[in-house]
Amino acid sequence: GAGAVYGLGREALPQEIAAWDVDIMPDGSGLPEGSGSVRDGEMLFSQNCAVCHGEFAEGVGNWPPLAGGDGTLADEDPVKTIGSYWPYLSTVWDYVHRSMPYGAAQTLSDDEVYAITAYILYSNFLVESDFVLSDENFTEVEMPNADGFIVDDRPETEYVKWRTEPCMENCKDEVEITMRATILDVTPEDEAEAET
């Protein structure tokens, strides 16, 4: 095509693209050849992941749980995990592969990522303990909340309502304070003050 108006930059080499372009699409495209079992994943998870995410992917302290929370999305306090919330398995593989373990990202081999992904599925009761995940059966796995997302609908549900001339006078009969931040008392104190 046209392009190259300024002739700046140089052509990217295939090896360079392969090194950086590792994203996986929901249809599985981008996945490398490979496989990993729940059993191998259990061991790898224990070694690389459990210190933050728990032996059963249930989460430790304030670190994210990766399993559990099924059916809680409409609750007062939803528990959003891979099993209860994430729509695509591709995102699990992709994110673990490129950004985990936290502090030592991009240190897992492709087969290790398949195994850990298999173990996370097992922890969410989505596969049996003898399951082996590979690039060939990857797209057969269905995530429970795959249909749980809608594209931003604010134009229809909000903007049409709120693009009107607002009230300026006598807008309410009464105003009462219903909640106060100082009751919760969770705002950080000025550190200098705290020391004196």
Partner 1 sequence: MTQSFKGPTPSRRQFLSGAAAAGAGAVAASASGAATPDPKITELQPWATGFGEGVDATPYGMPIEFEDHVIRRNVEWLTADTISSINFTPIHALDGTITPQGCAFERHHSGAIELRKEDYRLMINGLVDRPLVFSYWDLERLPREQHVYFCECAANSGMEWAGAQLNGAQFTHGMIHNMEYTGVPLRTLLQEAGLEAAGDLEDKWIYVEGHDASSNGRSIPMSKAMDDVLVAFKANGEALRKEHGYPVRLVVPGWEGNMWVKWLRRVEVTDAAVESREETSKYTDVLEDGTARKWTWEMDAKSVITSPSPQAPIQHGPGPLVITGLAWSGHGAITRVDVSKDGGKTWETARLAQPGDPKAVARFYLDTTWEGEELLLQSRAIDETGYVQPTKAQLREVRGLNSIYHNNAIQTWHVKTNGEAENVEVS
Asked if 128 is part of the footprint of partner 1 (rule: CB under 8 A), the reply reads no
Identify the residue among 130, 142, 193, 195 touching partner 1 (CB under 8 A): 193
Residue in 128, 130, 178, 195 binding partner 1, rule: CB under 8 A: 178
Comparing C-alpha atoms, which of 150, 149, 141, 140 is closest to residue 120?
Answer: 141
The site that binds partner 1 (CB under 8 A) totals a number of residues, namely 87
Looking at the Cβ atoms of 21 and 140, the one nearer to partner 1 is: 21
The site string for partner 1 over 24-63 (x = CB under 8 A, - otherwise) reads xxxx------------------------x--------xxx
For residue 4, state whether it binds partner 1 (rule: CB under 8 A): yes
Is the dihedral angle over the CA atoms 68, 26, 148, 132 positive or is it negative?
negative
Q: Does 194 bind partner 1 (CB under 8 A)?
A: yes
Smallest gap from Cβ 55 to partner 1, in A, equals 18
Residue 140 or 150: the one with the smaller Cβ distance to partner 1 is 150
| C-alpha separations of 14 from 7, 11, 17 in Å | 20, 9, 5
Give, for 43, the enclosing helix (H) or strand (E): helix 38-48
Residue from 45, 85, 119, 131 in contact with partner 1 (CB under 8 A): 85
Q: Quick one: 130 or 184, whose CB is closer to partner 1?
A: 184
Per-position b or e across 161-183, b if 16+ CB within 10 A of its CB? eeeeeeeeeeeeeeeeeeeeeee
CA proximity to 28, closest of 157, 120, 114:
114
Rounded Cα gap, residues 32 and 37, in angstroms: 16
State which residue, 37 or 92, has the beta carbon closest to partner 1: 92
- Tell the smallest beta-carbon distance from residue 177 to partner 1 (Å): 5
CB-CB contact of 84 with 69 (8 Å): yes
Among 128, 130, 142, 152, binds partner 1 (CB under 8 A): 152
Alpha carbon separation from 47 to 10, 122, 151, 189 (Å, rounded): 42, 17, 38, 38
Judged by CB under 8 A, does residue 151 bind partner 1?
yes
Contact residue for partner 1 among 20, 128, 140, 142 (CB under 8 A): 20
